[in-house]
């Protein structure tokens, strides 16, 4: 099989590693302990060309691809999963989704600002009473004289406390439509910034729309076609965000191999004990299997973006494995693993989000089982 990674990708991996090592490594613990969002480091990612990595150069992007976005997620996830989560919400969930579905004038007006980091972006789908059942949203846009008036609220939105641009899903009658909403729009307000168990430093909050007027030109894609955009967006989001947890798992495994090779108990290094070796062997196998599934899902995202099965399979397995690997990493570190000065307890808290964001583990299982049964009923085969 041909490698996913070209020379350009290899160079990009080196440069994002270098950027993260210089700008994030020294503050990764502070991001967690102080729930600190390093806004300047984030906005500066635009100047380096990382924010608009999938966007053509004529719109201010770097003209690269999803593989590049996945590489950035993996390397950020290795150093700081919350920073990687905020990056994913901005660059994939919001910006890439806008570029794929937006009109020419929306691309000209909004995309360059999101690529440069002048604006931070969010995707606002979840509401207080609709999470997994996203289409049951209550936020509604009613037609007015030259556009729509939106009323409603969104919650648990990554980057909401800072974002200037929101990709918003709303009801339009029985159907759904996506809209571009700006924080400067009259009727827009922000609510609580949540304090979280993990992914601290990735700001998560509420937003409210109170008789917020948008002209027709703010519809993203076609009116009443929001459901299709939402479903396709979720596929891409699952594939790209799964790489955060691949990076996190790699970090947890590396810390564990190093610690087990240094820590002596009973007159010998703990990595000479078979029970520790068993842990390392399972951790490594699950990490490698996650990599194959993530990369398989990425290939399918590039070739056929509507393939929900591989996207759900990849993130289902990778998120569960990252949590398993981080938990085993903590156990290998013994009592020190439980102490905040050691990174592994943070990795475990961050890993747990992997089973909640981008559709929960339960919803992913539902998608996988449904797609298997659909395929079997139509051609008697299990999909490869």
Q: How far is CA 13 from CA 5, 104, 188, 302, in A?
A: 10, 31, 38, 19
Nearer to ligand FAD by C-beta: 291 or 349?
A: 349
Write down the least CB distance from residue 122 to ligand FAD, Å. Answer: 6
Write down the least CB distance from residue 6 to ligand FAD, Å. Answer: 30
Nearer to ligand FAD by C-beta: 102 or 233?
A: 233
Write down the H helix ranges in the chain: 7-23, 28-33, 39-47, 66-79, 81-88, 97-101, 104-116, 226-260, 274-303, 308-332, 334-337, 344-352, 361-379
What residues have CB less than 8 Å from 120, skipping those under 6 apart?
39, 42, 43, 90, 114, 159, 162, 163, 164, 165
Whole-angstrom distance, CA of residue 175 vs CA of residue 140: 10
Q: Is 237 a catalytic residue?
A: yes
What residues have CB less than 8 Å from 126, skipping those under 6 apart?
134, 154, 155, 156, 157
Q: How far is CA 92 from CA 75, 100, 132, 167, in A?
A: 16, 10, 20, 11
Write down the least CB distance from residue 366 to ligand FAD, Å. Answer: 6
Write down the least CB distance from residue 66 to ligand FAD, Å. Answer: 19
Q: Which entry of 75, 127, 237, 371 is annotated as an active-site residue?
A: 237
Nearer to ligand FAD by C-beta: 302 or 369?
A: 369
Write down the least CB distance from residue 238 to ligand FAD, Å. Answer: 11
Contact status, residue 280 vs residue 270, Cβ threshold 8 Å:
no
Nearer to ligand FAD by C-beta: 200 or 299?
A: 200
Write down the least CB distance from residue 199 to ligand FAD, Å. Answer: 5
Whole-angstrom distance, CA of residue 377 vs CA of residue 101: 33
Backbone phi, then psi, for 43, in 5-degree steps?
A: -65, -35
Q: Which residue's beta carbon is nearest to the bound ligand FAD?
A: 131
Whole-angstrom distance, CA of residue 370 vs CA of residue 309: 9
Residues facing 215 on adjacent strands:
147
Bridge pairing between strands 188-193 and 147-158: unpaired
Nearer to ligand FAD by C-beta: 199 or 252?
A: 199
Nearer to ligand FAD by C-beta: 206 or 296?
A: 206
Q: Return residues touching ligand FAD (CB under 6 A).
A: 89, 122-126, 131-132, 156-158, 196, 199, 204, 353, 356-357, 359-360, 362-363, 366
Q: Catalytic amino acids?
A: 237
């Amino acid at each position: 099989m041909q490698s996913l990674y070209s020379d350009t990708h290899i160079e990009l991996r080196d440069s994002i590693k270098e950027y993260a090592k210089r700008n994030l490594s020294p503050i990764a613990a502070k991001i967690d302990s102080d729930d600190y969002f390093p806004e300047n480091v984030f906005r500066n990612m635009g100047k380096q060309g990382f924010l608009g990595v999938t966007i053509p150069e004529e719109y201010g992007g770097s003209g690269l691809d999803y593989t590049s976005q996945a590489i950035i997620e993996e390397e950020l996830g290795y150093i700081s999963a919350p920073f990687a989560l905020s990056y994913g919400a901005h660059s994939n969930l919001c910006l890439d989704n806008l570029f794929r579905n937006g009109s020419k004038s929306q691309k000209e007006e909004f995309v360059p600002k999101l690529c440069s980091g002048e604006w931070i972006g969010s995707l606002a789908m979840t509401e207080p009473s609709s999470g997994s059942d996203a289409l049951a949203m209550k936020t509604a846009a009613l037609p007015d004289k030259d556009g729509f008036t939106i009323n409603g609220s969104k919650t648990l939105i990554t980057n909401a406390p800072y974002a200037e641009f929101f990709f918003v899903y709303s009801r339009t009658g029985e159907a759904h439509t996506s809209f571009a909403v700006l924080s400067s729009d009259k009727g827009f307000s922000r609510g609580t910034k949540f304090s979280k168990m993990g992914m601290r430093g990735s700001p998560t909050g509420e937003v409210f729309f109170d008789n917020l007027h948008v002209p027709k030109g703010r519809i993203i894609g076609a009116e009443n076609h929001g459901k299709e955009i939402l479903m396709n967006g979720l596929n891409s989001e699952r594939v790209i965000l799964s790489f955060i947890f691949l990076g996190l798992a790699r970090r947890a495994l590396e810390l564990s191999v190093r610690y087990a090779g240094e820590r002596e108990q009973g007159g010998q290094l703990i990595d000479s004990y078979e029970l520790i070796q068993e842990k390392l062997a399972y951790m490594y196998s699950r990490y490698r299997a996650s990599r194959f599934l993530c990369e398989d899902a990425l290939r399918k995202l590039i070739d056929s973006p509507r393939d929900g099965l591989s996207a759900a399979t990849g993130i289902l397995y990778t998120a569960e494995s990252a949590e398993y690997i981080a938990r085993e990493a903590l156990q290998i570190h013994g009592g020190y693993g439980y102490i905040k000065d050691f990174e592994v307890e943070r990795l475990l808290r961050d890993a747990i989000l992997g089973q909640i964001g981008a559709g929960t583990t339960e919803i992913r299982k539902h998608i996988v089982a449904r797609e298997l049964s659909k395929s079997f009923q139509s051609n008697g085969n299990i999909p490869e």
